[in-house]
């Protein structure tokens, strides 16, 4: 009893204000500025204070010591304060207003988190830049003596950004001086929610009919806007196939834990949450940051200096992502503004059980605790005696390294912290950098700093004026020369020595998982037996041999979600000191150097594995999200593979092992077309977008004596609005497999056309197939996989293993012999399906067949038009591959060329512009002479060149001579673009030297025409002409090269073959002999 009494005496009462009967402290707190009111109360009560409302109370925490304790997610969980409960009326169980225990919170969190990772956010950068440029365009026309409301423009900016990046919706807020109606409706809803949180239910219901009507109208309007966005996306899925935004995630992604998608109502709630929380807080952050810089010229000058150094002084040159990430001081300014006035000014938690704070304050289970961030961030024990003063140096790397990471919480805590913080910081850093690059900002002399509160904070009526910065006000810095590190990839897979290779990851945002997959893919190429898994899957069963590569991040100082159990096990497991003596390993850590916890968890794993006897084969690598994330990984893994090749010797396998089935298929039966849902579409791997077909016409003559049996198509495509190209670029086309071939495969496996299936994976390796979701089998074969690739030797062996019939089994096994495989499979271009058609006794399962098929890859075509002639369209010239199969059985049809040939005007094709990164472009100086050699579709890039020359000529530009050697069979059969060439020749754009290989008995190819006109060709070369060769790499290109060597030796005196080779090599090095060729 004495001990109990003594213990009890240690508990202290929690300070509080005097209470009024019934209402408690309601009237002392209720106001339009509740945060600032509670801050004044906290000044009186100290680090902890209790505020009463009727029968309930909140406990306000203001000191670092207390806040750090309640950030322990094992003891405390997020609480929804009264204001958030009111907001739930219209945003429901969105990420910000859901209880952690609600199923939709975990589901949405799992689905949305990858969309806010470093790589995803980097993908939003062009759209952020577009919106920022809209603001700058408006500011460009503002007179220098005119004051305007900065906060209003920041609200427009952030609102438009979240709409465009998140949902591909253009609110176009800068098109009008009035705020967008959605913003008005949102502000009214938030302000009404603030008012209602102080009212009794009967007051809300009966005493404010006009306000209730206006509130309901606002909510209905917001719901309609959001529902329309969702409906538009669902009604036009093909229009948005290229979109990888928040809405696409919410509509298409499946929660890995439950296997479920988000329903439409929850998607509406999430969109409203993003539109409100995603713009209101960021606009306030920018407003506070600009205000403080205007009040502190010494810090403003540092910001100017950094912007001038990193972004440069050319305001017409838009910054790239890395430049914005390099604005470190700007980020310090933003963080300091968030410290003093965090725009989400508080977060609330509750204890899961009765507990004691700081060893002296008893707290009941589920008692609301409120972390008052502006007070907490001014704790002098952490921030010093000048904690109330604005100073970006508080976030210098040195200062951050010295502070506890829990001392700064502007984005909330733990798993309930804001998932959009990287998005918000990139958006804010970009805008502040662009504004400071261009403008000086100033406040009215009489401006009085006030803060407006809704559920967030922002400066009230922040009026500013701007003036353009002058050249003498800028600093000029020398720019360092960038360097790049390239990874030397293995050219061909090595033998399977089957050494275990574990690629383990801890990842919330997906980057670490992606890196682990890349390691596993490369390891497989090097002959390892690779496995990819989350760290938590290895709890209690750590591999004891082979090689272990761990890629992980640190999440708020703790492990990622899928590594928390592994961390706990590794911390507590009783393992002998030599438990892992046969295991070698390396670790790669992902994170952000702006946080003190950078590399904390990767470093712990690295050190712990060493103490357990594992051999650190390669030093731990680090990727910093605030620097070049991918380059760090590429550079690190380059060194890793060199070490692994030496360490393991990469021995060839001694025997073939039969692979286990990679996939399990759940057959869902036949679904009538009217009842079918939309099948998942392939992941956008290349940035492809839908290009509309404008024209698709045949270029060969199909009539008369010289009617062609072959086909070349001229296809004109409309460019998507955000796509441009340069003359000489390529177009990557992602085709669709032939419906006829797909139907044959379905018949071979006795699968109906309308059958649906769900795929699950039996091995943890990357796949391009859609997992754990229904998909139509015919669409699976149409859009996801290559069907006509030659079978590999390993696949032939798998077919043999799946065949019981002795004669057919022996024949398949015989095809695995080196010579037989080359002669009968490779040279005849036999696919797995070709072999299945021949060997009907083979009983390969459809699951194993799918596992053999690689992802459908893009095909590239030279763009045969000039952007100078038409900015809205491009053309390609496609030779349609349809010829007798090398096997002698039937007709072989090229996948992409036949797909393109069948497209009608108005249809779309998935494509993207590909810069070939070559010098195969027009001379920079139009007067430079040109020699072009291009038979057949090899003429395609030259058509673009000539169209551009014609456009330049029309503009009055002087052109150098151009000579085209074009080859075809017969002038009446396949002389493509003949009339167009004749017109350009008449205009002096080009001189054409055609070579016809079937006009006479003597075949005449482009190399023969070159030789016949060698005097003219040599004159061009002596005038400094550029030589371009495009077409077949196997026959034409070598023959043309040999002809140029022969011309040189003929035109020069006593020149050896070696000297001729040196001459042509020199032309190549000088970019005067350029080739663009493909395998035939």
Determine the pLDDT at residue 662. Answer: 67
Determine the pLDDT at residue 488. Answer: 26
723, 949 contact by CB (below 8 A): no
950, 869 contact by CB (below 8 A): yes
Residue 488 annotated in active site: no
Q: Given 71, 165, 418, 896, which residue is catalytic?
A: 418
CB atoms within 10 A of CB 579: 17
Residue 712 annotated in active site: no
Which residues of the chain carry a pLDDT beneath 70? 1-9, 242, 476-496, 508-510, 555-557, 592-597, 625-631, 650-662, 672-677, 679, 683-686, 762-766, 916-917, 1078-1080
Q: How far apart are CA 751 and CA 849, in angstroms?
A: 13
830 φ/ψ angles, rounded to the nearest 5 degrees:
-85, 125
User: Does CATH place domain 930-1078 in 3.40.50.80?
Assistant: yes
Q: Which neighbouring-strand residues pair with 953?
A: none
Pick from 274, 250, 292, 272: nearest CA to 158: 274
Tokens (6 digits) for 750: 């006795």
Q: How far apart are CA 138 and CA 431, in angstroms?
A: 14
Tokens (6 digits) for 469: 């910065």
- The three-point CA angle 609-613-618 to 5° equals 60
pLDDT of 542-562, one tens digit each?
888 889 999 998 865 678 878
408, 339 contact by CB (below 8 A): yes
Which residue shows structure tokens 């197939």?
769
Query: In what order do the strands lie in the sheet containing 873-879?
Result: 859-862, 730-734, 908-914, 689-698, 712-718, 873-879
We find that the CATH architecture of domain 661-786+853-917 is: Beta Barrel (2.40)
857, 786 contact by CB (below 8 A): yes
DSSP-derived pairing of the beta strands 962-968 and 991-996 = parallel
Determine the pLDDT at residue 807. Answer: 79
163 φ/ψ angles, rounded to the nearest 5 degrees:
-65, -45
Q: How far apart are CA 565 and CA 541, in angstroms?
A: 12
Ordered by start, the domain boundaries in the chain are 103-473, 500-648, 661-786+853-917, 930-1078
CB atoms within 10 A of CB 645: 14
Pick from 505, 501, 536: nearest CA to 633: 505
Determine the pLDDT at residue 6. Answer: 36
Q: What fold is seen in the domain 500-648? A: Rossmann fold (3.40.50)
**CB-based contacts of 744, cutoff 8 Å, min separation 6:** 833, 837
CB atoms within 10 A of CB 1063: 18
Tokens (6 digits) for 433: 């950098």
**365 exposure class (CB count in 10 Å sphere: 0-12, 13-18, 19+):** exposed
Q: How far apart are CA 47 and CA 61, in angstroms?
A: 6
DSSP-derived pairing of the beta strands 930-933 and 908-914 = unpaired
489, 517 contact by CB (below 8 A): no
Q: Given 167, 395, 408, 411, which residue is catalytic?
A: 411
Rg of the Cα atoms in the chain: 34
966, 936 contact by CB (below 8 A): no
1077, 1037 contact by CB (below 8 A): yes
Residue 896 annotated in active site: no
Q: Is 618 left (phi over 0), alpha (psi -120 to 50) or beta?
A: beta
The reply to whether 661-786+853-917 shares the fold of 103-473 is no
pLDDT of 191-213, one tens digit each?
898 888 878 788 888 888 899 99
Q: How far apart are CA 769 and CA 785, in angstroms?
A: 8
What ranges make up the beta strands (E) of 880-997?
Answer: 882-884, 891-893, 908-914, 930-933, 962-968, 991-996
Is the pTM above the cut of 0.85?
no
Q: Given 97, 161, 273, 281, which residue is catalytic?
A: 281
Tokens (6 digits) for 233: 């996306």
Estimate the crossing angle of helix 806-814 against helix 793-801, to 10 degrees: 170
**CB-based contacts of 943, cutoff 8 Å, min separation 6:** 864, 865, 875, 877, 977, 980
**Residue 165: in which H helix or E strand, if any?**
helix 150-167
For all residues of the chain together, what is the average pLDDT?
87
Tokens (6 digits) for 921: 């472009």
973, 700 contact by CB (below 8 A): yes
Helix, strand, or coil (residue 521): helix
User: Does CATH place domain 103-473 in 1.10.150.170?
Assistant: no
Determine the pLDDT at residue 841. Answer: 86
Q: How far apart are CA 530 and CA 532, in angstroms?
A: 7
Q: How far apart are CA 715 and CA 735, in angstroms?
A: 14
């Amino acid at each position: 009893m004495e001990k109990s009494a003594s213990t009890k005496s240690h508990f202290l009462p929690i300070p509080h204000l005097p209470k009024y009967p019934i209402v408690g402290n309601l009237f002392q707190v209720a106001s339009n500025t509740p945060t600032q009111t509670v801050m004044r109360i906290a000044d009186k009560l100290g680090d902890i204070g209790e505020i009463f409302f009727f029968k309930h109370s909140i406990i306000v925490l203001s000191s670092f010591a207390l806040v750090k304790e309640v950030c322990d997610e094992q003891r405390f969980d997020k609480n929804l304060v009264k204001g958030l409960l009111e907001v739930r009326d219209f945003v429901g169980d969105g990420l910000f207003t859901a209880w952690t225990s609600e199923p939709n919170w975990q589901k949405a969190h799992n689905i949305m988190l990858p969309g806010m990772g470093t790589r995803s956010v980097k993908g939003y950068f062009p759209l952020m830049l577009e919106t920022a440029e809209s603001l700058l365009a408006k500011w460009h026309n503002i007179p220098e003596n005119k004051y305007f409301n900065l906060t209003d423009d920041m609200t427009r900016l952030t609102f438009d950004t979240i709409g465009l990046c998140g949902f591909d919706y253009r609110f176009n807020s800068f098109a009008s001086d009035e705020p967008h109606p959605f913003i008005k409706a949102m502000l009214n809803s938030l302000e009404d929610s603030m008012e209602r949180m102080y009212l009794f239910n009967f007051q809300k219901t009966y005493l404010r009919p006009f306000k209730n009507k206006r509130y309901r109208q606002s909510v209905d309007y917001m719901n309609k806007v959001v529902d329309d966005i969702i409906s538009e996306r669902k009604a036009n899925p093909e229009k948005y196939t290229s979109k990888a935004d928040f809405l696409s995630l919410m509509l298409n992604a499946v929660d890995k834990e439950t296997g479920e998608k988000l329903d439409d109502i929850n998607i509406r709630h999430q969109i409203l949450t993003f539109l409100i929380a995603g713009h209101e807080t960021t606009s306030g952050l920018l407003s506070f940051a600009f205000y403080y810089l205007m009040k502190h010229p010494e810090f403003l000058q540092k910001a100017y200096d950094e912007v001038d150094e990193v972004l440069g002084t050319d305001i017409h040159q838009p910054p790239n992502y890395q430049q914005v990430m390099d604005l470190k001081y700007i980020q310090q300014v933003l963080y300091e503004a968030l410290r003093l006035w965090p725009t989400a000014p508080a977060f609330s938690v509750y204890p899961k059980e009765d507990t004691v704070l700081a060893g002296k304050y008893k707290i009941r289970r589920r008692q609301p605790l409120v972390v008052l961030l502006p007070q907490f961030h001014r704790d002098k024990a952490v921030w010093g005696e000048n904690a109330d003063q604005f100073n970006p140096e508080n976030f210098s790397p040195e200062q951050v390294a010295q502070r506890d990471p829990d001392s700064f919480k502007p984005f909330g805590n733990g798993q309930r912290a804001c998932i959009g913080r990287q998005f918000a910081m990139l958006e804010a850093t970009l805008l502040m950098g662009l504004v400071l690059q261009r403008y000086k900002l100033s406040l009215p002399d009489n401006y009085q700093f006030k803060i407006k509160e809704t559920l967030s904070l922002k400066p009230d009526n922040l009026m500013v004026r701007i003036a353009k910065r002058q050249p003498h006000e800028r600093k000029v810095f020398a720019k360092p020369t960038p360097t790049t590190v390239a990874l030397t990839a293995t050219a061909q897979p090595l033998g399977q020595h089957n050494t275990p290779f574990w690629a383990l990851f801890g990842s919330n945002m997906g980057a670490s998982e992606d890196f682990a997959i890349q390691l596993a893919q490369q390891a497989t190429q090097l002959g390892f037996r690779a496995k990819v898994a989350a760290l938590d899957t290895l709890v209690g069963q750590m591999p004891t041999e082979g090689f272990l590569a761990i890629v992980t991040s640190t999440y708020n100082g703790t492990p990622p979600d899928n590594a928390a159990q592994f961390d706990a096990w590794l911390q507590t497991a009783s393992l002998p000191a030599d438990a892992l003596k046969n295991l070698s390993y390396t670790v790669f850590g992902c994170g952000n150097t702006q946080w003190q916890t950078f590399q904390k968890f990767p470093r712990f794993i690295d050190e712990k594995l060493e103490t357990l006897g594992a051999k650190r084969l390669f030093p731990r690598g680090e990727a910093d999200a605030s620097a070049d994330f991918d380059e760090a990984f590429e550079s690190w893994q380059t060194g890793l593979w060199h070490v692994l090749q030496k360490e393991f010797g990469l021995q060839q396998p001694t025997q073939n092992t039969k692979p286990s089935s990679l996939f399990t298929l759940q057959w869902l039966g036949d679904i009538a077309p009217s009842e079918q849902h939309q099948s998942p579409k392939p992941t956008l791997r290349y940035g492809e977008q839908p290009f509309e077909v404008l024209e698709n016409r045949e270029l060969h003559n199909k009539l008369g004596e010289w009617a062609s049996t072959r086909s070349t198509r001229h296809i004109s495509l409309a460019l998507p609005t955000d796509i441009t190209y340069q003359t000489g670029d390529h177009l990557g086309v992602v085709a669709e497999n032939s419906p006829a071939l797909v139907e044959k495969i379905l018949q071979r496996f006795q699968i109906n056309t309308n059958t649906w299936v769900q795929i699950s994976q039996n091995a943890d390796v990357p796949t391009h197939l859609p997992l754990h979701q229904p998909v139509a089998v015919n669409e699976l074969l149409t859009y996801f996989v290559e069907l006509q690739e030659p079978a590999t030797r390993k696949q032939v062996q798998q077919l043999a293993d799946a065949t019981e019939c002795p004669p057919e089994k022996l024949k398949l096994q015989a095809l695995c012999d080196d010579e037989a495989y080359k002669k009968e499979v490779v040279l005849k271009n036999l696919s797995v399906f070709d072999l299945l058609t021949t060997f009907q006794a083979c009983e390969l399962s459809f699951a194993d067949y799918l596992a053999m098929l690689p992802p459908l890859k893009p095909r590239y075509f030279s763009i045969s038009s000039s952007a100078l002639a038409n900015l809205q369209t491009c053309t390609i010239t496609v030779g349609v591959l349809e010829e007798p199969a090398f096997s002698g059985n039937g007709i072989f049809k090229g996948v992409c060329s036949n797909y393109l040939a069948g497209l009608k005007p108005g249809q779309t094709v998935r494509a993207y512009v590909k810069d070939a990164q070559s010098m195969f472009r027009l001379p920079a100086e139009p007067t430079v002479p040109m020699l072009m050699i291009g038979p057949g579709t090899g003429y395609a890039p030259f058509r673009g060149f000539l169209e551009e020359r014609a456009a330049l000529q029309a503009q009055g530009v002087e052109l150098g001579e151009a000579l085209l050697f074009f080859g075809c069979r017969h002038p009446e059969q396949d002389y493509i673009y003949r009339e167009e060439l004749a017109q350009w020749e008449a205009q002096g754009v080009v001189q054409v030297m055609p070579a016809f290989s079937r006009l006479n008995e003597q075949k005449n190819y482009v190399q023969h025409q070159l030789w016949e006109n060698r005097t003219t060709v040599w004159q061009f070369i002596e005038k400094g002409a550029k030589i371009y060769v495009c077409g077949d790499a196997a026959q034409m290109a070598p023959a043309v090269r040999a002809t140029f060597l022969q011309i040189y030796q003929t035109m020069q005196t006593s020149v050896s073959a070696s000297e001729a080779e040196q001459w042509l090599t020199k032309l190549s090095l000088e970019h005067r002999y350029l080739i663009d060729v493909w395998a035939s």
